[in-house]
Amino acid sequence: MSGQTLYDKIWQSHLVSGDDEAALIYIDRHIIHEVTSAQAFEGIELAGRSIWRSDSILATPDHQVPTTEREKGKAGFVDKLALLQVTTLDDNCDKNNIVQFKLNDQRQGIVHVVGPEQGASLPGMTIVCGDSHSSTHGAFAALAQGIGTSEVEHVLASQCLQQQKCKNLRVLVNGCLPLGITAKDLILYIIGKLGTAGGTGYAIEYAGEAIENLSMEGRLTVCNMTIEAGARSGLIAYDQVTENYLHGRPYAPKGAMWDSAIQYWRTLVSDADAVFDKELIIDAKDILPQVTWGTKPDQVVAVTSQVPEISSAKDAVQQADWQKALSYMSLNSGTAISSLSLDQVFIGSCTNGRIEDIREVAKVVKGKKVASTIKRAMVVPGSGLVKQQAEAEGLDKIIMAAGLEWRFAGCSMCNAMNPDSLASGERCASTSNRNFEGRQGQGGRTHLVSPAMAAAAAIAGHFVDIRQVELAQLEGIH
Ligand SMILES: CC(C)[C@H](C(=O)O)[C@@H](O)C(=O)O
Ligand code: SF4
């Protein structure tokens, strides 16, 4: 018999009953936010049930919170429906003894930034959240996935989830990422290769030298966008990087508990003889800075290339798809990506709202000014603690001196469920994860990029090859 994959190991240790087709798995950690939990709590109440394990739940409001004037608290909400959602989350958490980092708590932030930074997302855990980007937490060698509101209710009531087992897909990234190429470029490149449905039915394990060399933040970025390739879960093996990151975090085990936890965590790797159902092998040195041109995350090219020719699409279906995307994005085939001028720049989200991302941005914009043609460029930390850390390092000052706005934590313009959005027709360089039609505001046009690429675009007013910027910076130092 061959060895087990990391996914198989966690699956097996959480299997309560059933088989691969219809299983019941136990859930260790449940993270909730204001958008997808209200109806679940209501369902529980109507059925006369109670919450099975309140201490497995961590809550924070993120999607609908305004990112300005946080000092006003709830009086800062213009949208009364958004306020009702946040207040309902407060009520549900208070009533059920659920830990919540409320609006004015320094620890508030985007669920997928908060869980990891608190050490609430731990290796070997099954982690769910009523949110599609829950795959993020799999970076800790955990089985993490997004669930729907009815499943949120199921987990609240029973601590279990009904599941069909996934097949195993390994994405092996050999070699080292070249200068200027980040985890974001890597995952956009992978999605470009896999396609938005390439991961459907699979749990993806990312492995190889380039993955091992990523920081925990970078790994979170990679796992975050797994859902954009159609897979619900993305995982990365446990190693020293994972261990160093978790040590001392508020929710991580302490003392003797830590010592025994790491003994178990160190087994959370795929066995050398594990068999994967499918494999994608990538050479890290082939990756250039990525920019999406269309309305799906797999419609992506290198910053050095052009908007593709329709005739190069693989079939008639894709041709029609590309045509539609070009028309929505107001682009012509053959246009150089670097010639696209931008109206707005958004830096933040659960993909790229962590401290390392903000450091990258500060490095690029330091001593420079946002181009006069850019209407607005904003940096939105993924959590209050990221904001606090950035301010302690003086990054906010550098960012504001360059003319970018410095906001309070939340999802912000990632999906515009709050006051931050694009106006119709505006073109935006965004560090978020989705470029769907209307995602950042009705008629808005989104190009997904890395934080450094977004920052460089804010300064230039159009896309530039970050490798040139970084080379110039290096030459400036010598
Ligand atoms: C609001 C929520 C259900 C949604 C999701 O699950 O993805 C959001 O986070 C998003 O990214 O669009
Ligand atoms: S930052 Fe964006 S992708 Fe992440 S949870 Fe919020 S809306 Fe969803």
Domain shared by 78 and 137, yes or no: yes
Which residue, judged by its Cα, is nearest atom 7 of ligand 1?
132
CA distance 112 to 405: 23
CA distance 124 to 9: 9
Domain shared by 403 and 344, yes or no: yes
* C-alpha of residue 373 to centroid of ligand 2, in Å: 27
- Which residues have C-beta atoms less than 6 Å from ligand 1? 35-36, 63, 131-133, 146, 415
Q: Please, which residues have CB within 8 angstroms of residue 122's CB and are 6 or more apart in sequence?
A: 28, 29, 140, 142, 246, 251, 252, 253, 261, 265
CATH number at residue 169: 3.30.499.10
pLDDT at 171 > cutoff 80: yes
Closest ligand (CA of 348): 2
Domain shared by 320 and 451, yes or no: yes
Residue range 277-292: mean pLDDT, rounded: 98
Domain shared by 350 and 401, yes or no: yes
In a domain, 322, yes or no: yes
User: Is 466:338 a contact under the CB 8 Å cutoff?
Assistant: no
Give the residue from 279, 314, 349 where a domain finishes.
279
In a domain, 226, yes or no: yes
Give the residue from 225, 251, 279 where a domain finishes.
279
What is the structure's pLDDT at 473? 80
Counting the structural domains of the chain, the total is 2
Question: What is the band of 2 on the pLDDT scale with cuts at 50, 70, 90?
Answer: confident
Burial class (CB in 10 A: 0-12, 13-18, 19+), 299: buried
CA distance 52 to 160: 10
Domain shared by 255 and 338, yes or no: no
Domain shared by 234 and 354, yes or no: no
In a domain, 284, yes or no: no
The residue to mutate among 35, 112, 145, having the most atoms of ligand 2 within 8 angstroms of its beta carbon, is 112
Give the residue from 279, 312, 346 where a domain finishes.
279
Domain shared by 303 and 271, yes or no: no
Question: What is the band of 476 on the pLDDT scale with cuts at 50, 70, 90?
Answer: confident
Residue 34 tokens, joined: 């204001």
The residue to mutate among 111, 131, 136, having the most atoms of ligand 2 within 8 angstroms of its beta carbon, is 131
Task: Look up tokens 């859930």; give the residue.
Answer: 27
What is the structure's pLDDT at 409? 98
Domain shared by 272 and 303, yes or no: no
Domain shared by 353 and 272, yes or no: no
In a domain, 1, yes or no: no
In a domain, 116, yes or no: yes
Domain shared by 184 and 305, yes or no: no
Measure Cα distances from 333 to 320, 415, 457 in Å. Answer: 14, 27, 21
Domain shared by 58 and 134, yes or no: yes
Domain shared by 246 and 294, yes or no: no
Residue 478 tokens, joined: 């010598």
Task: Quick: pLDDT tens for 292-305.
Answer: 999 999 999 999 99
CA distance 346 to 422: 10
In a domain, 73, yes or no: yes
pTM for the model stands at: 0.98
Task: Quick: pLDDT tens for 349-398.
Answer: 999 999 999 999 999 999 999 999 999 999 999 999 999 999 999 999 99
Domain span including residue 381: 289-477
In a domain, 253, yes or no: yes
